[in-house]
Amino acid sequence: MRSQPAALLVHGFTGSPHELQALGSFFCQSGYAVSLPILRGHGTNPDELRNVKPSDWLHALEQEYRTQKLSHKRVVLVGISFGGSLALALAARERPDAVVCFGSPVRMRYHKPVKALLQFAHLFRQDIIKPSSGPFADEVIPGYTQRCYQRIPIQSMLRVYQFLETVMTPSVLRRVCTPLLAIQGTHDPIISPWSAEQIVGWSSSSTAVAKRWRDRYHLIVQGERKYELYHEVAKWLREHL
């Protein structure tokens, strides 16, 4: 049905569609046709990531967006974490009806020193293992089970850092001119706390909003206030679509 709006949901790096299933169900119940693709190299084993670049994911999302646009008059891009960065990069190429991103990085927290450590570590090993605790460990969220890779190719991580540095820039983001909602958790342990404001400030959208969300998780779409968050997003979309 062409009059039905569509939502293209994009999961994060090393994650899977699992992290957006609850949000996708909410969108379905709100009358959207939902597309929740899995990014190549995910959902199998970490070695599959080695030969995949962010440009491959962006190209695949572009094709999926155009497919949705053939069937639906209005298409919304929604991304979590690095999936939101990919959604923004796609919005700079295409003209979606709105973009919503949750905890999406312009830069990672401690971006330069962590990148330098990864470059040094890559001289001696191919992969890193996620720590059992700390900001880069899988979050323990009540009622939710993480399904992320525990072993991550360092080269893949460095490609993500390079993508952020070359694509999440003022010159690219100023081409994002559609309604934009960037939501950032107040205690996000992974993403720089100013990312949402930077995304909005660099865009050309006249209806761009940066919102701080009181939550201690990076994965705020699965946090303790997730349903309240979903309703906030739905309200904003009703006002801007």
Q: Give the tens place of pLDDT for each residue, 19-44.
A: 999 999 999 999 999 999 999 999 99
List, in sequence order, every residue forming a beta bridge with 34; answer none if it has no partner: 7
The DSSP letter of residue 39 is P
* Mean pLDDT, residues 76-94: 97
Whole-angstrom CA distances from 159 to 55, 127, 152, 209 are 10, 14, 12, 28
Domains in the chain (CATH in brackets) are: 6-240 (3.40.50.1820)
CA pair distance 145, 140, nearest whole angstrom: 8
Give residue 24's region: left, alpha or beta (phi > 0; psi -120 to 50).
alpha
Give the pLDDT band (50/70/90) at residue 133.
confident
List, in sequence order, every residue forming a beta bridge with 181; answer none if it has no partner: 100, 209
Model pLDDT, residue 173: 97
Model pLDDT, residue 241: 87
Q: What is the pTM of this model?
A: 0.95
pLDDT in tens, 192-215: 889 999 999 999 999 999 999 998
